Structure 1
C-alpha cells in the first residue's frame, strides 16, 4: 500500500522544504503529489530526512561479547544489533568486522560466524546489514574469508587496518606520528620491554590471553612483515575485481594515503593528522571521521577534531564508530555550533556515505530513490529522536501515531 507523509520539513537534495512525500513499492514515487488512496501520515511538527548510512560501526562487538571473554550466540547479537540500528535511524550499516590474527573476539573464525549469521538472518532483519571487512594486514589467515565475502550477495567494503605495526612502534613515537608502515626505517619496540606489556594489556584481555602470551604471539606475527606488502596487493586486487569500496584506516603519513590510493582505496578512514586529510582532499578521496568525536567535542586519542574538519571541508562522512546514537547527535551538535546548514550537514550521514560506498540508490529524498526515510521529533536546541524509520519502504521502527 502507498504511504503519503505530509506536513514535515523535509531535507531534500536542494534544501529544506515542507513537502509531502509519497512512498510505494519501496521507493519514493513523488513529491507534493495527490494522496490518491495512499495511507497518510500526519508529520506536522516533525523533520523528514534520508535515513542514515553508516560506513563504519563496531558497536555490535558489545552484543557479541558484552563482558571480556563472555560470548553470546551470534544470532542473538545480530538480531539485537539490527534493532539498535533501526531505533537510531540507520537504514544501511557496514559493520566494521575486524579480521585479525588475534584469537577471541576479533578472530577470523568469529568473523566467519558473523558473516554467516548475517546471511542466514537477512530475511528477518529490519535494515540493510552489510560488512566492512576491517582486515588486519598481518592476518594472512583471513584471505579465504575475504574472497568468499566479496562474492556474497551484499558487496562488503574492504578496510586496510594495521594495528600490528601501531602496537610495535618505538616508544618515543606517538600514534599520530608513526611512519608509513611499509617503510624500511620503521622503528620498533623491544618485545621484552615492560612498556610493551602496558601497551598491549587491553588487546591481550580482548583476545583472552595473558599479556606474556599476547606478546609472544605478536612477536611471531611480526615475522610476517616482509610478506605484508604483497598480501595487501592481493587483497586490493580482489577488492578492485569486485568494485568494492576500499578504505585505509588511521593513516598518519601522506605517503600512507598515496600508497593505498594507488591500490584503489579511495576512502581515508579516520586520518590521524590534518596533513593527511588535506592530502586526501587534494587527491580526490572521500574522508571519514567518527561521529563520537563530534559528539564529545574532540578525539579521545588526540586526532583532529571531526567537527572542525567538517567545517573546513576536510570531512565528507561521519560514521558511528563505536556508538550508534552518535550520528544523529553529531549533526545536532554541529548545527548548534554553527558549523553548517542542516541541509549540508545531513549529507555527512546520508548522501556522502552512500556515494562513497557506491550505493547510488539511496541517501536522498528524491523520486526513484529507495524509501530509506526518517521522521524525527527535533525541538530546537535539543537532540532529535527517531519516531519512524523506513528501510526500503518497510517499517523498521515506529512509535505510536506515525506508524503506517
Structure 2
C-alpha cells in the first residue's frame, strides 16, 4: 500500500493557492489540510508550489523517439519508455499519445499505428504516466475505416480525432522544402508519392460518408472526439452536429468563437504560448486565451511546453496561475471526461507536482507523484526532512473540504 505524506507547500486548492499538507493512500489524495503526519514516505514540500498533475490531450513528440531522423527507426518499446520519462519529468501525469494513421506509408502508416496501440496496451502497467491512445484519423484514409470502427467499438481508442491534411499536402507539392520533407517521411520516390496523392484525392466523394460512420461509431462507444484545424464556423457546426465536441487548433478567431458559443472544448498548443505565436502563422494562442476562447493547452510537439506556458501566462498577466493551470490540468481532464483528476481534492487520483517557481519563467519540477507513486524526484534531501513542529496552516473549513467528483 502506498502511504505518502506531503508536508507544507503552496497548494492549489479550489482555485486558490494556500499553504497546506496532505496524505496519499494507495492512488488517492486524503486528509487535505492535515498539519502534520508521518507515513511510509515523507516529502517536504515547503517553499514549493504543490499543483495537480498535467493532463496532455495531444502530444506527438514520441514520434521523434520512434524516428529521430528520416528513415532511422527505433523500437517502439524503447521510444515509449523514453517518452514516458520525458513526460513525467515535465509534470505530465496523464498523456494521450496522438498517433496519426494516414493514407501515406512510413512513420504514420497503419502498421505503426497498430504496433503503437499494442505497445501502449501491453506496456501501460510499466509506464509512470497514465498513458492513453489518441488516434488521429486522416479522413482520406478510407481503407482503414473498418478496422478503426472495430477499435472504437472494442474500447481500444481513448480519444478520436478527425484530421484532413489533404489540401495542405496538395498545396505543398509546389514547395520544394515541404515536398521533400513529406516524401522523406514516406520513404517513397518523388514520382511514387505523386501517384499516391493523385489516387487518394480521387476518392474525395467518399470522405463525408466515412466521417459520419466513424463519428456515429465513436459516439455509440462513448469515445470523445476532436476535429483538427477547423477553418470556419460552418466546419465546426458540422462536426458538432456529429457529436464532435472538441475543437483542436481552430485556425481563426471566428471559428474559435463558434466553438465557444456551442460549449465545445477548445484546444491550442502550449508551444504557441511559450514561443509567442504559432509556428504556422495561424492563431496566436495567448490572444485566444485572453478572449476566453481556449479551454485546453496541449504539449503538441514539445513535452516541456505545458508547464512553461502556464507560468508564461501568469508572468505576462494574461491569467493568474490558478486559472492558467486549469488549461493544462482540470480543463483537459474535463474535455476527456476524466472526473478523477486535474485538481487536488480528497478522493482524487494522486497526480501531484512539486514545483520550484523561484524563477517564474523557468519553473523547475522537483518531484512528481503519479497515480500515488513517487515517479520523479530531483532533490533527495526532501525525503523525511521534517522539523518536529508543523508549519502548514490549517485551512478554513470552506476552503479545505474539497472532494473529487466520482
User: Are positions 1:288 and 2:288 aligned together?
Assistant: no
- In structure 2, the CA distance between the partners of 1:2 and 1:154, relative to structure 1 (3 Å rule), is farther
Give matches, 1:283-362, under 5 Å: 283-362=262-341
The DSSP-based 3-state class of the residue aligned with 1:280 is: helix
Q: Deviations over 1:149-169 (max 9, x none)?
A: 335566510110000133235
Partner of 1:401: 381
User: Are positions 1:219 and 2:219 aligned together?
Assistant: no
* Offset at residue 135 of structure 1 (A): 0.4
Is the 2:20–2:34 Cα contact (8 Å) retained in structure 1?
Answer: no
Cα root mean square deviation, aligned: 1.7
Q: Deviations over 1:269-307 (max 9, x none)?
A: 000001100111111111000000000000111111111
Is the 2:9–2:50 Cα contact (8 Å) retained in structure 1?
Answer: yes
CA distance in 2 between partners of 1:341 and 1:376 (Å): 16
Bigger drift between 31-40 and 199-208 goes to 31-40
User: Are positions 1:232 and 2:211 aligned together?
Assistant: yes
CA distance in 1 between partners of 2:146 and 2:64 (Å): 26
CA distance in 2 between partners of 1:378 and 1:94 (Å): 26
Give matches, 1:87-126, under 5 Å: 87-126=89-128
CA distance in 1 between partners of 2:73 and 2:305 (Å): 25
Is the 1:54–1:92 Cα contact (8 Å) retained in structure 2?
Answer: yes
Is the 1:200–1:215 Cα contact (8 Å) retained in structure 2?
Answer: no
User: Are positions 1:76 and 2:78 aligned together?
Assistant: yes
Structure 1 residue runs of 4+, over 6 Å off? none
Give matches, 1:38-77, under 5 Å: 38=39, 39-77=41-79
The DSSP-based 3-state class of the residue aligned with 2:381 is: coil
1:366 to 337, 345, 349: 345
User: Are positions 1:26 and 2:22 aligned together?
Assistant: no
CA distance in 2 between partners of 1:126 and 1:198 (Å): 38
* Offset at residue 343 of structure 1 (A): 0.6
Partner of 2:401: none
Bigger drift between 310-319 and 11-20 goes to 11-20
Partner of 1:187: none
CA distance in 2 between partners of 1:381 and 1:371 (Å): 25
The DSSP-based 3-state class of the residue aligned with 1:248 is: strand
CA distance in 2 between partners of 1:28 and 1:320 (Å): 26
* Offset at residue 23 of structure 1 (A): 0.9
Bigger drift between 328-337 and 363-372 goes to 328-337
Is the 1:47–1:375 Cα contact (8 Å) retained in structure 2?
Answer: yes
Unpaired runs of 5+ residues, structure 1, are 172-193
The DSSP-based 3-state class of the residue aligned with 1:349 is: coil
Is the 1:30–1:366 Cα contact (8 Å) retained in structure 2?
Answer: no
Give matches, 1:239-250, under 5 Å: 239-250=218-229
Is the 1:197–1:215 Cα contact (8 Å) retained in structure 2?
Answer: no
Partner of 1:4: 5
CA distance in 2 between partners of 1:42 and 1:389 (Å): 13
Is the 1:197–1:211 Cα contact (8 Å) retained in structure 2?
Answer: no
The DSSP-based 3-state class of the residue aligned with 1:388 is: strand
* Offset at residue 34 of structure 1 (A): 5.4
Partner of 2:393: none
* Offset at residue 12 of structure 1 (A): 1.6
Q: Deviations over 1:157-206 (max 9, x none)?
A: 0110000133235x9xxxxxxxxxxxxxxxxxxxxxx7266653321111
Taking structure 1 as the reference length, what is the TM-score of the superposition? 0.91
* Offset at residue 376 of structure 1 (A): 0.7
Partner of 2:388: none
CA distance in 2 between partners of 1:333 and 1:154 (Å): 36
Unpaired runs of 5+ residues, structure 2, are 385-406
Q: Deviations over 1:72-119 (max 9, x none)?
A: 011111111111111111010111100001000000111000000111
Partner of 1:14: 15
User: Are positions 1:207 and 2:186 aligned together?
Assistant: yes
